[in-house]
Amino acid sequence: MHRTHRRARDRQDARDTAAYNRVFKDRERARRDVRMLALVRSGTFPYAPVVMSWLSRQLDKPSQKISPKDIKSLLT
């Protein structure tokens, strides 16, 4: 097989694998969202680093700039 055909096949295989894994990753993200919201509701500020990282992604803010007011707005 010529090099260009092999590379094209490899790119297609990568796209197929990503599409297949996307389903599982979406499910895991949903489970993580539920788990993190439960931790935020049960804990107090400041939270563990893993929760602060998740909050940072949800609020689109650096974790140092997250305030309890921001978290309250996320929970409502």
What digits encode the pLDDT tens for the residues 8-67? 999 999 999 999 999 999 999 999 999 999 999 998 888 899 999 999 999 999 999 999
Q: How far apart are CA 55 and CA 5, in angstroms?
A: 44
Q: Determine the residue type at 36.
A: M
Whether 1 shows a pLDDT value over 80: the answer reads no
Comparing C-alpha atoms, which of 40, 49, 30, 29 is closest to residue 74? 40
56 part of a folded domain: yes
Comparing C-alpha atoms, which of 44, 75, 42, 74 is closest to residue 59? 74
In the DSSP assignment, the letter for residue 41 is H
Predicted confidence at residue 39, as pLDDT, reads: 92
Domain span at 36: 25-76
Please answer whether residues 46 and 68 qualify as being in contact, where contact means their C-beta atoms are separated by less than 8 angstroms: no
Predicted confidence at residue 29, as pLDDT, reads: 95
Predicted confidence at residue 43, as pLDDT, reads: 85
37 part of a folded domain: yes
Number of domains in the chain: 1
